């Protein structure tokens, strides 16, 4: 199935470019989850900790559907 993935924060350098602000098209197996997208894109799992699908915050075990727009974010902790 076809989805798009947009990377934010510390994940953005993992975008192949040239324009890292654009979503990446991705073809992934039917029944794939957000966690499967993270693995397929070879993103560091310790950074890819937050996700939204079609603008709604979701869990990493959420099953995706054709045309979904996935946003992956890193959690920043500072002081």
Q: pLDDT confidence of 77, banded at 50, 70, 90?
A: low
Q: CA nearest 48: which of 71, 21, 22?
A: 71
Q: Is it the case that residue 62 has pLDDT exceeding 90?
A: yes
List the CATH code of the domain at 2-73.
3.10.20.30
Q: What is the mean pLDDT of the chain?
A: 93
Q: pLDDT confidence of 78, banded at 50, 70, 90?
A: low
Give the Å distances, CA to CA, from 47 to 3, 42, 61. Answer: 21, 11, 16
Residue 33 φ then ψ, to 5°: -110, 175
Query: Residue 45: its pLDDT value, please?
Result: 87
Query: Residue 79: its pLDDT value, please?
Result: 53
Query: Residue 50: its pLDDT value, please?
Result: 94
Domain ranges of the chain: 2-73
Instruction: Specify whether the CB–CB gap between 34 and 68 falls below 8 A.
Output: no
Entry pTM: 0.90
């Amino acid at each position: 199935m076809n989805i798009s993935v947009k990377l934010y924060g510390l994940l953005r350098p993992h975008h192949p470019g040239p324009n890292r602000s654009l979503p990446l098209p991705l073809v992934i197996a039917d029944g794939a989850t957000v966690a499967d997208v993270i693995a397929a894109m070879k993103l560091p799992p310790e950074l890819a900790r937050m996700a939204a699908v079609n603008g709604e915050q979701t869990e990493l075990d959420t099953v995706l559907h054709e045309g979904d727009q996935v946003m992956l974010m890193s959690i920043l902790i500072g002081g």
